[in-house]
Chains A and B, each alone.
Chain A
Amino acid sequence: MARFNAVDVVLWAMRIAVVAVVVIGTAGTLIKGRYNAAQWFDFVMFGLTIGSIYAQIALGYTMVYGVLRLINFAHGDIVMTGAFAGYFVATPLDRSGFLESHPVLGMAAILAVAITVSTSIAVLTERIAYRPFRRVVGLAPLICAIGVSFFLEQTFRGMFGSAVKSYPEPQWERAAFHVLGFNVPRVDVLVIGLALVFMGVLYLIVQRTRMGTAMRAVAEDGEAAALMGIDVNKVVVFTFILGGAMAGIAGVFYAFVYKQVYFLMGFTPGIKAFGAAVLGGIGNIPGAMLGGFFLGMVESVGPTLFLDGLGIPAPYQLRDLIAFTLLIMVLIFRPQGLLGERMARRRA
């Protein structure tokens, strides 16, 4: 037990370095006091917004992993398909003025089409690419998933071009609420509110419906579930439907927040959301939501809070650095996640 080796030393050094950067950086930033409360509030608000999107994407990873033990590498690209579908509805609606005059109906139409498209594509990928690998052990399923990711990205590039398309921005979302002297952008409220509603619905489906129960049973023990008469194929398809729907919604919101759509847009949020899913304990649905919000906050507040105090120029450029560092730290030090004790024991 007490034996030290080089590997442990390195891992401890990593831990200490990260903690040191966080502590010293935070102290430095706070002492300098270059940012006022309103600015911090903006960071937090953005963190919650982007976090709610990550949370929705993370749900897809976590559910598929729970049921199939597969990292659906293409899940981020499912998000992209939803964003594209939303874009092709939103643009004509915006041009005709409909989106301006009927925000609720307009958003509903955009979301409905996005969900339809992303869900269909998610189910198709499962049927065509993943099902043959159901019993394959080793790296083959993951490599196939990487292939699916590329295939989806490049298919969309071929069909719709490689240019970055700008997403319409109706008047009503530009305004902001004023709460206690802070500006709360309407987009953020809309995105966070709707995301919470959709995630609540998903949680109810998984916890209360017959299909949801079957899904949890398969995640627990696929073989036993099959012996109990559960149609595993159906459950898997259902899982991809739920995950695909959340991804479609997330895609629309992501495009809504960043105001742009292009064929590679799903990759980075996809990887980050996978990190969020692991952070919450993979296979754990509330964990994925929590992980998403946590990641969003760290990514939004982190660069300024940790790095600005160290005198690093243009810390916002290093936002992805912080997100990926968090991802790696989680994979190395706590692969079972924060809420994943039960899973961890089974995987050990």
Chain B
Amino acid sequence: MMRRAVLIGLAFGAGAVHIAAVGVLLAMHQRWIIVDALSLGQGALLLIAGGAGATAGRPLSGLLAGAAAGVPIAALVVLMSFVPLHAIFIALSPDLLDMLTLNFGLSAGVGILIGGGAIAGVLGAALRATPAIVRRAIFPGAIAVAVAGVFQELIQLIFQQYEGPIGDFRDFLYTWEGLTPQGAVTIFILTALCSEVIGSVWRRRVERMAVRDHRRERMVRAGIALLVLALLPAVAGSYIGQVLVLVGLYILMGMGLNLEVGLAGLLDLGFVAFFAVGAYTTALLTADASHALAHLSYWAAMPVAVFLSIIVGVLFGLPVLGVRGDYLAVATLGLGEIVRVIVQSDFAAPLLGGAQGILQIPKPQLGDFVLRSPVSLFYLTLVASAAAAFVAWRLENSRLGRAWMALRDDEDVAQALGINLVRSKLLAYGLGAAFAGLAGSIFATMLTSVYPSSFQLLISINVLALIIVGGMGSLPGVVLGSIALIGLPELLREFGEYRYLFYGAVLIVMMRLRPEGLWPSDVRQRELHAADETLALDAGADAVPAQPR
């Protein structure tokens, strides 16, 4: 019992050492949650110790686990003060030492880390034991404070135009540096109250609702979220607009890859190739440069780009039709890399511009109005996404969509049922590519230039990560995933370089804890839970080797 608590604590503590060693912790320390009281980095350490306590269970175990979570990081502090680790590990700097010891020096610092860990651990464990009604108040409150503190710049930017009572309230909550302590308390209390009231009303309604109404209810919520999303940039200005264009492009690509991976089960790591085709086609057809083949308007070039992407998607899919499962992932990755190598080489330079890329792509024009600002491009992306979402939604429920799902579950059975494998697979590649081509086309006009270095494998992985986080085969999941994985890191600029670290961790954790994603599709969730039950039934059977091929 005790041993387990200590082990849990040490594991969480190792996580804390990891984020310290890679530099995330110090970067987080640069942002206040509450000015001069709590930095994001300190919050993260508290959360780790609290998490250890909550995992360990009862308050006494929680105390032990929290203290144990402080031990590895305290050991790191001791080590750092005697050995110049900084020479090799660039993140283990004197600044980090100051942050961890709160400038109190070594021995006090160690005490603070272990003692603080113990307190957080007890709190974490106690929180777990409290009744649901209390937790419903505390969690949303804490999250609201964290959001209000971390995104203070953005929130202040939005509200800076207001005078009068709203302005006074803003000044009560924020100084120019960030959230004030009284602001934090106010936000906490307000959110906790709202959460209790709205939560109880909502639950009572849901309990009374018939099962079929749940779906409508969710649609309404999704609709409200979309409406907010649509109006946000107009209110919040061009920076948010720019971020949202990117989010929109990834939503488009996510929906495309979702057709391939989520519905048809074809893990495609060369997806970025289609994005590149869309971008380069648009560039070649519209750019005011020597490489350009034509000087069409954007609206004429976009359909061509999408069409060409479909063709490339089918051509891409043809050779790998017979390749299955994980081999398919590697084969498509290879195809994607081939496209990149060719685009970058001198061989294709006369046509595609080589490493210098293609410049001077015009912005789209509506009559006399040029869609120059990020906000107007956002609306273009929004319209494109909405159209694509409609297509994806109809596809999902069509005969073809059901064929894809059959294909995903068992190729041989699907074929036996009379599904034309070649046709369905090629359609999956082609239609998936169309979405990515459309995204690429908008991307080209957004940047007004295309370079081969914009089309790295990383993009394929980003898209994969976002549909996994959102939930494979789920349209709202794609939106959620894009906002979480693309939008959030854009807003937290200083953590930009740690974004892929986060993606890696997210892929591992999601696959382990919630393979169906944050907002799973109904079918998927049912399947996974049915699978759980069967797994539980034959838990006695020994090591089953992976899928027979």
Chain A interface (Cβ within 8 Å of chain B)?
5-7, 10-11, 14, 68-71, 88, 129, 132-135, 137-144, 146-155, 157-162, 222-223, 226-227, 232, 271, 274-275, 278, 312-314, 317-318, 320-321, 324-325, 327-328, 331-332, 335, 347-348
Contacts and interface: CB of A to CB of B under 8 A. Distances in A.
A150 B326 contact: no
Size band of the interface chain B makes with A: 35 or more
A226 B541 CA distance: 12
A197 B334 CA distance: 31
B219 interface: no
Contacts of B261: 139
A331 B345 contact: no
A143 B346 CA distance: 34
Interface string B106-149: 00000000000000000000000000000000000000000000
Contact of A14 (B319, B329, B334, B547): B319
Contact of A159 (B91, B464, B512): B91
Given A144-B512, A155-B18, 8 more contacts: A6-B422, A147-B505, A157-B497, A161-B90, A318-B345, A327-B334, A328-B334, A332-B323
B321 interface: yes
A157 B21 CA distance: 10
A314 B18 CA distance: 43
Nearest to B503: A150
Interface stretch (B65-73, B150-158, B336-344, B367-375): B336-344
A11 B544 contact: no
A132 B515 CA distance: 13
A71 B88 contact: no
Contact of A148 (B22, B341, B508, B549): B508
B546 A155 contact: no
B344 to A, nearest CB: 7
20 contacts: A69-B545, A69-B546, A139-B261, A140-B515, A142-B326, A143-B511, A147-B503, A147-B505, A153-B500, A158-B21, A158-B497, A159-B91, A223-B543, A226-B542, A317-B345, A327-B330, A328-B335, A331-B331, A332-B323, A335-B327
Nearest to B513: A132
Given A155-B18, A155-B22, A160-B90, A147 B508 contact: yes
A236 to B, nearest CB: 10
B347 A320 contact: no
A335 B500 contact: no
B319 A314 contact: no
A134 B539 CA distance: 13
A29 to B, nearest CB: 16
Contact of A328 (B21, B331, B341, B547): B331
Specify which of A69, A135, A150, A335 lies most central, judged by the most chain B CB atoms within 10 Å of its CB: A150
B344 A317 contact: yes
B24 interface: yes
A227 B500 CA distance: 42
Nearest to A331: B331
A159 B504 contact: no
A71 B338 contact: no
B501 interface: yes
Contacts of B549: 347-348
B346 A313 contact: yes
B267 to A, nearest CB: 5
Contacts of B504: 147-154
A327 B332 CA distance: 10
Contacts of B319: 10-11, 14, 328, 332
B503 A317 contact: no
Nearest to A321: B341
A158 B501 CA distance: 9
Query: Looking at chain A's contact residues, is the secondary structure mostly helix, strand, loop, or mixed?
Result: helix
Specify which of A158, A160, A320, A347 lies most central, judged by the most chain B CB atoms within 10 Å of its CB: A158
Interface in B340-357: 341-342, 344-347
Contacts of A223: 542-545
B320 interface: yes
B322 interface: yes
A278 B330 CA distance: 11
B341 A132 contact: no
Nearest to B329: A142
A99 to B, nearest CB: 18
A324 B319 CA distance: 14
Interface string B15-53: 000100111100000000000000000000000000000
A158 B498 contact: yes
A313 to B, nearest CB: 5
Nearest to B342: A321
Contacts of B545: 69, 222-223
A320 B319 CA distance: 19
B546 A137 contact: yes
Interface string B450-491: 000000000001001000100000000000000000000000
Interface string B524-549: 00000000000100000011111111
Contacts of A325: 334, 338
A30 to B, nearest CB: 21
Contact of A147 (B342, B497, B511, B544): B511
A150 B461 contact: yes
Contacts of B497: 157-158, 162
Contacts of A133: 511-512
B322 A159 contact: no
Contacts of A144: 507-508, 511-512
B318 interface: yes
Contacts of A318: 341-342, 345, 347
A324 B273 CA distance: 15
Nearest to B543: A222
A132 to B, nearest CB: 6
B397 to A, nearest CB: 23
B508 A331 contact: no
A11 B323 CA distance: 12
In the A-B complex, the 9 residue pairs with the closest CB atoms: A158-B22, A147-B507, A150-B504, A151-B504, A154-B501, A69-B546, A147-B508, A324-B334, A144-B511
Interface in B290-322: 318-322
A189 B464 CA distance: 43
B166 to A, nearest CB: 41
B542 A321 contact: no
B254 interface: no
A308 to B, nearest CB: 12
B284 interface: no
Nearest to A9: B318
B347 A317 contact: yes
Given A149-B504, A222-B545, A324 B21 contact: no
Nearest to A69: B546
A307 to B, nearest CB: 8
B385 to A, nearest CB: 25
Contacts of B542: 223, 226-227
B265 interface: yes
B460 to A, nearest CB: 10
B543 A70 contact: no
Specify which of A6, A137, A153 lies most central, judged by the most chain B CB atoms within 10 Å of its CB: A137
B547 A137 contact: yes
Contacts of A142: 267, 326, 329
B507 A150 contact: yes
B498 A7 contact: no
Contact of B501 (A7, A68, A71, A155): A155
A314 B337 contact: no
A158 B330 contact: no
B289 interface: no
Contacts of A160: 88-90
Contacts of A147: 503-508, 511
A146 B464 contact: yes
Contacts of B329: 71, 139, 142
Contacts of A10: 318-319
Contact of B323 (A14, A139, A335): A335
A7 B542 CA distance: 40
A328 B91 CA distance: 40
